Amino acid sequence: MAVGDLKTNNYCDFIVDREQERCIQCQVCVRQCPYGTNIYKEADNIVVSDFSLCTGCHRCEAMCPTGCITIRRNTSQFREHANWQAADIKNIYKQAETGGVLLTGIGCDKDYPIYWDHILLDACQVTNPSIDPLREPMELRTFLGRKPDTLEFEEKAGKISLKTELAPQLVCDIPILFSAMSYGAVNLNFCEALARAAEASGTYYNTGEGGLHRTLFKYGKNTIVQVASGRFGVDKAYLDAGVAIEIKIGQGAKPGIGGHLPGEKVSKEVSLTRMIPIGTDALSPAPHHDIYSIEDLRQLIYALKEATDYTKPVSVKISAVHNAAAIASGIVRAGADIVAIDGVRGGTGAAPTMIRDNVGIPIELALAAVDQRLRDEGIRNQASIIAAGGFRNSSDIIKAIALGADAVYIGTPAMIAVGCTVCQKCYTGKCPWGITTNDPYLAKRLNPDIGAEQLTNLLKAWAREIKEFMGAMGINAIESIRGNRERLRGVNLTEKELKILGIKHAGE
Amino acid sequence: MKRVYPKEDACIDCKLCEVACLVEHSETKDIFKAYRETPRTLSKAFVEEDGPNSISIQCRHCTDAPCIDACITGAMQRADDDSPVIIDRDKCVGCWMCIMACPFGAIQMDVRKKDKHKVSSKCDLCPGRNIPACVEICPNRALFFEDRE
């Protein structure tokens, strides 16, 4: 063992604080930790912990029947230094030992401004009445897809009917969809829970780039199938199975970076679904090798539309990058019906830490810029916008809709709903909560019956809260707040930020 | 009658059912004291595991219970067809014929000599509780207390 190993072992991040008086040696914690942190010493009849292995996932703490475990931060500190924080120092130690790229999961954990917390919503007082959502009907129904420039009607034998041919639409009972999480990165139990919750809530989940497992075809009417650069699991049946197709160009957590599903996660079922050999790494190239321009993108959009007989809207998902607005404009002109934008705080199963934390822009700014650009160019009606990346609660969502989103994608909140504690170790494939793992011993921890209930409850709760916001603002349809930035005010923002967000400062 | 049914797909091998069963059948029914009792109470539920597969085993309280037929002293008994199969510890002589006869391996030996002699030990469906302790504690809905006939 080198001194370097001692450093990474002893400068551990978390302490498993076990109150030995309350420990009954039942060993639930021993069996629940997939990292082997908790160890039973039979000779002494005592459970001890190797702190260096703890990832701070809190699984043992949650499962302990006597509540004897508290996971806390290791308070051992390096000398204070504004430039050299503990995480930076430890990262260098790790890389000096391994020579490897630092990996992580979930979304960016850096302290960049969260603009949602600097935006406040309006409400009615005296002159325009607010509405009680428990007494009055509230409409959250959202149609995603291309809207016509004008509507033409025709009259035949005294009956008036619509002459304009409408493009295919996704009908969402709530403006919240589950974002793309691929089978392989997450396990089948979680996919099934998402699918069932989407079905119960009248919304959609997204397959991600991992193909569609044969047992999930029955949830097709609530499924958006994704076509990414790896083209895993894509065939005619797959395209036909869902109600919309999404071309994934980028992901908020790792803009410009491809995907890498380690071979260990490619089990028999994943291999069948992805159509790759068992145990081989599933590598998604950084670019689509057939897309090097907007014209190329147009070809793929229309190839997919042609393949599905123009019956399904096609979405294009990009990371929020510096010139997202111009790219979005190109995407709409290329024929996409939906543009999905994933901000810097968007999640991932695995990404290089430095990329995750330093590439991309916040979704608030990207969303406002894209919406404004499409309006300025007079093409906003030609595509719906789905915003993604870091939504934490219903207020973030209604603010996003007021900023111009038609709907939002949620990924991390869905995982948290089924137990995730945001420990950021998804890339290890050993998720103690049974979400981002295909190890059958661990995957069982996510019971799809329970998961579907929890996800349905979360959507129900957020929908109720959104209705409360709408009622307070005196509106009874989500359409009335969509893109209505007049109902937003900024606090603690600069002139430039307000200008990009297109909102007034509080008090104006 | 209502019985405890395990769901193998959802069993996560945490063995909290064993903990809850032990506490429920202990003298004090207090988790801290129960684990310090000597001799310690036996859990009547036990999790069998093989790799990723695990399942919590309890007495099935069979309609036509082989253990009752096998019992040489009449210790293994039930009040009527709708009652759980229970053991009269005073009558049991520890011959283990019930263990031989049980097709589910749900009966175990209690050799702690708490009652001065060896006896058989098995699930009694937690008399006095509406839902057996193991079913109540199961964190992943792997145990159901239902009438499935």
CATH of the domain at A298: 3.20.20.70
Residues A179 and A94 in one domain: no
Residues A65 and A183 in one domain: no
Give Cα separations from A431 to A70, A83, A166, A170, A180 (angstroms). Answer: 19, 32, 45, 33, 18
Residues B67 and B106 in one domain: yes
Residues B97 and B146 in one domain: no
Range of the domain at A282: 174-451
Residue B29 forms contact with A (CB below 8 Å): no
Give the strand pairing for B119-121 and B143-146: unpaired
CATH of the domain at B117: 3.30.70.20
Chain A residues in contact with B34 by the CB 8 A cut-off are 24
Other beta carbons less than 10 A from residue A98's beta carbon: 11
Q: Which whole number is the average pLDDT over A176-202?
A: 97
**The two three-digit tokens of residue B71, written as one number:** 């019992």
Residues A288 and A410 in one domain: yes
Does some domain include residue A466? no
Q: Which whole number is the average pLDDT over A381-388?
A: 98
Give Cα separations from A500 to A31, A136, A343, A346, A401 (angstroms). Answer: 51, 35, 15, 21, 16
CATH of the domain at B6: 3.30.70
Q: Which whole number is the average pLDDT over A429-442?
A: 95
Residues A92 and A182 in one domain: no
**The two three-digit tokens of residue A222, written as one number:** 């609530």
Closest-approach residue (CA) in chain A for B51? A441
Interface size between A and B, measured as CB pairs under 8 A:
54
Domain count, chain B: 2
Residues A377 and A281 in one domain: yes
Range of the domain at B145: 1-58+127-149
Read off the pLDDT of residues A461-472 as tens digits, 9 standing for 90 and up.
999 999 999 999
Residue B142 forms contact with A (CB below 8 Å): yes
Give the strand pairing for B108-110 and B119-121: antiparallel
Do B51 and A441 lie within an 8 Å CB cutoff?
yes
Residues B134 and B107 in one domain: no
pLDDT of residue B107 exceeding 70, the answer is yes
**pLDDT grade for A4, boundaries at 50, 70 and 90:** low
**pLDDT grade for A234, boundaries at 50, 70 and 90:** very high
Residues B21 and B52 in one domain: yes
Does some domain include residue A424? yes
Do A28 and B139 lie within an 8 Å CB cutoff?
no
- Helix (H) and strand (E) counts in chain B: 5, 8
Residues B88 and B49 in one domain: no
**The two three-digit tokens of residue A209, written as one number:** 């780039």
pTM as predicted: 0.95
Does some domain include residue A324? yes
Phi, psi (rounded to 5 degrees) for A155: -115, 125
Residue B141 forms contact with A (CB below 8 Å): yes
Q: Which residues contact B18 (CB under 8 A, 6 or more apart)?
A: A26, B43, B45, B46, B47, B134
Residues B41 and B18 in one domain: yes
Residue A378: per-residue pLDDT:
97
Does some domain include residue A135? no
H helical segments located in A178-313: 188-201, 236-241, 268-274, 294-307
Residues B72 and B113 in one domain: yes
Give Cα separations from A65 to A28, A60, A61, A175, B131 (angstroms). Answer: 8, 10, 9, 39, 18
Does some domain include residue A25? yes
At which of A429, A451, A473 does a domain end? A451
Residues B51 and B5 in one domain: yes
CA distance A351 to A357: 10
Does some domain include residue A147? no
Q: Which whole number is the average pLDDT over B66-79?
A: 96
Domain count, chain A: 2
CA distance B113 to A224: 63
CB-CB contact of A40 with A49 (8 Å): no
At which of A100, A133, A163 does a domain end? A100
At which of A55, A71, A100 does a domain end? A100
Instruction: Find the length of chain A.
Output: 508
Residues B93 and B112 in one domain: yes
Residues B1 and B53 in one domain: yes
> B39-75 burial string, b = 16+ CB within 10 Å, else e?
eebbbbbbbeeeeeebbbbbbbbbeebbbbebbeeeb
Chain B residues in contact with A445 by the CB 8 A cut-off are 12, 140
Residue A262: per-residue pLDDT:
82
**pLDDT grade for A10, boundaries at 50, 70 and 90:** confident
Do B35 and A24 lie within an 8 Å CB cutoff?
yes
Residue A67 forms contact with B (CB below 8 Å): no
Which of A444, A445, A450, A454 is the mutation pick for testing B, counting most B CBs within 10 A?
A444
Pseudo-torsion of CA A59, A65, A67, A70, nearest 10°? -20
